[in-house]
Amino acid sequence: MTQTFNFTVNGKPVSVALANEETPLLNVLRNELGLMGTRFGCGLEQCGCCTVLIDGKPEKCCAKPLWSVAGKSVVTIEGLGTPENPHPLQQAFIDEQAGQCGYCLSGIIVSAKALLDKNPSPTRTEIAAALDDNICRCGSHNRIIRAVQKAAAQMRAGAAS
Amino acid sequence: MNAPLPGILADNPMLDRWVSFPAPGKITINTGRVEIGQGVLTAMAQIAADELGVAMERIVIRSGDTDLTPNEGYTAGSQSMQAGGVAMRQACADVKALFLAQAATVIGCAVSELAVRDGSILRGGKPTGQDYWTLASAVNLAVKATGGGARKPMAEFKHIGESAERLDLPDKIFGRAVFIHDMKLPGMVHARVVRQPNRGATIDKIDEKAVARAAKAKVDFVRSGNFLAIIGDDETAVDLAAAAAANAVTWTNVETPTALQAEASWLLQRPWIDRPFGAPAGEPQGRERFEATYSRGYLAHASISPSCGLAEYRDGHLTVWTHCQGVFPLRGSLAKALGIDASNITVRHVQGSGCYGHNGADDAAADAAIIAMQMPGKPVRVRWRREEEFVYEPKTSAMVVKVHTQLDDGGKPVDWTQEIWSATHSNRPGAGGILLGAVALPNSMPEPPPNDVPESNGGGATRNGEPLYDIAAKRMIHHLITEPPVRTSSLRGLGAMPNIFAMECCIDELAERAGEDPVAYRLSLTADKRARAVIEKAAAMAGWNPKEPGGTGHGRGIAFARYKNRAAYAAVVVELDVAEEIRLARVWCACDAGLVINPDGVLNQLEGGVIQSASWVLKEQVRFDTGAAAGIASFDWETYPVLRFSEVPEIDIELINTKDEVPLGVGEVTAGPTAAAIGNAVSHALGVRIRDLPLTRERIMATLLKA
């Protein structure tokens, strides 16, 4: 039996009708809504590649059933910014060349956004702790931490002006 | 008489394989090298832009496509700049020379009067109205390279040597569909493979009803011999079915490795083939002898994305999309495994996550191809499951390295033998290695005879097994283990990391015996200026203090290597604290990589190498288990932990000597020195040497209890 679930993705209301209400949100984003920015890494909620914001909180969505997000607000990497209008985090990641293969970056940038939303001036230790659920295998950690620090500074400056 | 062509260009001499002018203002360059997160395409664009004399924005790159690009074998071994970049440079120089000759004819002047500025032809510094694109129709690039095109002098480089932003990063930062995992083909089906547990295992029973129940949507089986896959339109259903298949499909003739076999020491009891290298066994020379044995277990590549492959068999032609490191070797191997002519196969590279060597990429592509061959006209996408990647990807061999030294009166080594126990580091399809799915087919792909990477290519288990230091007699004995418990193949640096770990830890042990400072001791053993320069630089960066007391729980260590003894030089200093666990405090690295194309890209690669090596040393070993869950017990990120953000130290890196003519790859140069520097720092901190990796809490506690 097909059921319909309503929620918002990147601010837009969506309605998804699926037979299996247990379908992971990640598969819905990628296969039903065509949003490929949220990546599959493990399907076990261990690596953080699939991190999205659900009602503002960073959550891994590779094992999150569709029914559990009904009525909620989902924000993905595509919802942060565009090349024309980048989020300060995205600009800082480009400025710092923070990445190698880039597969982990969507989840990391989303996790960093959640951090900066509640802590505009995080220390290196706080940034590292906030990103500990996200695995980077290439070893871009220090560049990523510098990019988050830079974005935080820019966002503070933006808020102050 | 021109100098001989760079090897890759000699192998692919037709210039139109390298460069074309498809549209006004644009130049397409083709490289056989592929992007695996190392930034190679950006560096290639820098090289082409400089040699052709155009802005970077004009360059469009195609890479890794058997229909289009040069055949450069594998993107591996830190060879992309050293071999591929040099070839690209000469190809572009030859193309530019052909255009200048044509321009001289059209304008009616001597070539020597002409120059190129952003693609426009200048005469005496003034525009001529001619450019690459006005001339393109009259210049035949379907000719062989001659090597006659003058390469731009280094002083005139605009792009080479300047940091360039990675061309591929913005798409990844904005979450664009750039990875092979994001590819969708019209009418595509999703597929998961129910893996044959080992060669010779046969399918006993398939409980199709149980699988269908779990899927909650329509799925189908595709079977050929003992190759079994589940396909369907709905990816979730296919995933659920594959998970259920773990119990619903039963096998006979299953063999699983045991816990004991996961230990490097197990190799010492196996059959092997002896491969001796270097000085003949001579008379004992030194007054004293020193021997020590070091080891490292099996490691996984542990790529962040499980492998993925797509394939379509249509009108007798097979097209395969893959993130593997060598599209041409994969094509050859697929042709053999599937019994079709290579001319009927196209293999195209699409980016995946970092692979760090031979992971599951080739196998996933072969899986997709096997399934696609059974359903002509239907595109197939295979994505491995997380546990599938961990369990079935090739591992890097465990290694035991015993160093035998003879010392002179001053405690310096005069005779050095590195005795190495290791299975092969060469199991790529292009080296005769298997494609996993093809082993399960009725016409099972045979196991290759035991071999390893030829020493002329830098060796596999023997890589960096010979010290660069000035030692009168040096030799290696490789005991090539012929029957390892798991498939072994190439991981970043191959045998270099365990060999350098053993060698550079041993050098520290010898320095300690001689009562000398590790930095001074190393410098006394080498007259190589570039080696001395990186050692001195790293020590200076770290504020190295020879008198810093040991055994305090805080330690620092240094180590050095020249990758393959013929590529880039690096020295690494590590500072750390040891309580029950090791906490890295700071790392300094000095590197001489010759001509650096993209300095920021090089720093990124070097730092990645440091961090990955630190992860290997502190955390990583593939475990096997017995009992109910028999087999490989490292199957996810909890059972195979890697270094996390809060465990990564701050790292300072400096590049020295960027002025040489030859660029030297850097992806693999820091791994060995980092491992040994950590080992040496731990010894300094504890006052006790730990010679077996990884340096886990259990190992540290056991060592401290024994001491």
Q: What is the pLDDT of residues A17-29, one digit of tens each?
A: 999 999 999 999 9
DSSP annotation of B35: -
Mean pLDDT of chain B: 95
CA distance linking residue B322 with residue B306, whole number of Å:
12
Helices (H) and strands (E) in chain B, counts: 17, 27
Q: Indicate if the alpha-carbon torsion angle A33, A36, A38, A44 is positive or negative.
A: positive
| Pairing mode of beta strands B569-578, B582-592 | antiparallel
Yes or no, beta carbons of A39 and B611 under 8 Å apart:
no
Identify whether residues A7 and A68 lie together within a single domain.
Answer: yes
Answer with the one of A29, A48, A79 that is the final residue of a domain: A79
Residue B165, chain A, CB below 8 Å: the answer is: yes
Cβ distance B595 to B614 under 8 Å?
Answer: no
pLDDT of amino acid B627: 66
How would you class B294 by CB atoms within 10 Å of its CB: exposed for 0-12, middle for 13-18, buried for 19 or more? Answer: buried
pLDDT of amino acid A156: 95
Q: What is the amino acid identity at position A90?
A: Q
Tokens encoding B161: 């040597």
CA distance linking residue B707 with residue B689, whole number of Å:
10
Identify whether residues A8 and A71 lie together within a single domain.
Answer: yes
Answer with the one of A79, A107, A135 that is the final residue of a domain: A79
Q: Rounded to a whole number, what is the distance in Å from the CA of B663 to chain A's nearest CA? A: 20
CATH number at residue A34: 3.10.20.30
pLDDT of amino acid B704: 87
Q: Which class would CATH give B181-254+302-392? A: alpha beta
Matching fold, domains B7-160 and B399-425+460-706? yes
Yes or no, beta carbons of A41 and B352 under 8 Å apart:
no
Q: Determine which of B162, B304, B606, B613 to mutate to test the interface with A (most A C-beta atoms within 10 Å).
A: B304
CA distance linking residue B314 with residue B371, whole number of Å:
13
Give residue A161's pLDDT band: very low, low, confident or very high (50, 70, 90).
confident
Identify whether residues A95 and A68 lie together within a single domain.
Answer: no
Mean pLDDT of chain A: 97
CATH number at residue A142: 1.10.150.120
The whole-angstrom distance between residue B492's C-alpha and the CA centroid of its chain comes to: 4
Q: In this predicted complex, what is the ipTM? A: 0.98
Q: How far is CA B346 from CA B120, B314, B385, B429, B441, in A?
A: 36, 12, 26, 16, 22
| Pairing mode of beta strands B227-232, B220-224 | antiparallel
Answer with the one of A57, A79, A101 that is the final residue of a domain: A79
Q: Nearest CA to B385 among B189, B239, B574?
A: B239
Residue A52 CB contacts under 8 Å (≥ 6 apart), including other chains: A25, A29, A38, A58, A59, A61, A74, A75, A76, A110
pLDDT of amino acid B629: 62
Identify whether residues A96 and A72 lie together within a single domain.
Answer: no
CA distance linking residue B626 with residue A143, whole number of Å:
41
Residue B97 CB contacts under 8 Å (≥ 6 apart), including other chains: B148, B149, B150
Q: Nearest CA to B70 among B327, B377, B447?
A: B327
* CA Rg value for chain B: 27
How would you class B28 by CB atoms within 10 Å of its CB: exposed for 0-12, middle for 13-18, buried for 19 or more? Answer: middle
CA distance linking residue B452 with residue B220, whole number of Å:
40
Identify whether residues A42 and A92 lie together within a single domain.
Answer: no
| Rounded (to 5) percent helix, strand, coil in chain B | 35, 25, 40
Residue B465 CB contacts under 8 Å (≥ 6 apart), including other chains: B277, B401, B418, B420, B459, B476, B478, B495, B499, B503
Cis before B694? omega within 30: yes
Identify whether residues A101 and A151 lie together within a single domain.
Answer: yes
Q: How far is CA B374 from CA A115, A128, B192, B229, B340, in A?
A: 49, 48, 15, 11, 13
Residue A76, chain B, CB below 8 Å: the answer is: yes
One-letter-per-residue 3-state SS of B134-163: HHHHHCCCCCECCCCCCCCCHHHCCCCCCC
Residue A2, chain B, CB below 8 Å: the answer is: no
End-to-end CA distance of chain A: 54
Alpha helices in chain A, H assignment, sequence order = 25-27, 88-95, 105-118, 124-130, 141-160
Which range marks the domain in which residue A53 is found? 3-79
**Residues B457, B461, B463, CA angle at the centre, nearest 5°?**
50
Identify whether residues A127 and A95 lie together within a single domain.
Answer: yes
Cβ distance B487 to B662 under 8 Å?
Answer: no
Q: Which of B177, B383, B637 has its CB closest to that of A36?
A: B177
Tokens encoding B634: 């490292």
Q: What is the amino acid identity at position A27?
A: N
Residue A93, chain B, CB below 8 Å: the answer is: yes
Low-confidence ranges of chain B (pLDDT < 50): none
The whole-angstrom distance between residue B322's C-alpha and the CA centroid of its chain comes to: 16
Residue A26, chain B, CB below 8 Å: the answer is: no
Q: What is the amino acid identity at position B448?
A: P
Q: Nearest CA to B91 among B147, B11, B155?
A: B147
Residues of A in contact with B598 (CB under 8 A): none
Question: Percentage of residues in chain A with pLDDT exceeding 70?
Answer: 100
Q: Determine which of A80, A93, A103 to mutate to test the interface with B (most B C-beta atoms within 10 Å).
A: A103
pLDDT of amino acid A136: 98
CB burial of A11-22 (b: ≥16 within 10 Å; e: otherwise) equals eeeeebebebbe
The whole-angstrom distance between residue B66's C-alpha and the CA centroid of its chain comes to: 21
Residues of B in contact with A76 (CB under 8 A): 175
Q: Rounded to a whole number, what is the distance in Å from the CA of A159 to chain B's nearest CA? A: 23
Tokens encoding B300: 């996984």
Say how many residues make up chain A.
161
pLDDT of amino acid B361: 98
- What is the total count of domains within chain A? 2
Cβ distance A52 to A33 under 8 Å?
Answer: no
Whole-structure pTM value: 0.97
Identify whether residues A11 and A36 lie together within a single domain.
Answer: yes
Identify whether residues A10 and A69 lie together within a single domain.
Answer: yes
Cβ distance B33 to B64 under 8 Å?
Answer: yes
Identify whether residues A72 and A27 lie together within a single domain.
Answer: yes
Identify whether residues A30 and A71 lie together within a single domain.
Answer: yes
CA distance linking residue B44 with residue B29, whole number of Å:
9
Residue A41, chain B, CB below 8 Å: the answer is: yes
For chain B, domain boundaries: 7-160, 181-254+302-392, 399-425+460-706
Identify whether residues A21 and A63 lie together within a single domain.
Answer: yes
Residues of B in contact with A31 (CB under 8 A): 235
Tokens encoding B294: 């070091």
CB burial of B223-259 (b: ≥16 within 10 Å; e: otherwise) equals ebebbbbbbbebbbbbbbbbbbbeebbebeeeeebee
Residues of B in contact with A49 (CB under 8 A): 304-305
Quick one: fold of B7-160?
Aldehyde Oxidoreductase; domain 4 (3.30.365)
Cβ distance B492 to B456 under 8 Å?
Answer: no
What is the architecture of the domain spanning B399-425+460-706?
A: 2-Layer Sandwich (3.30)
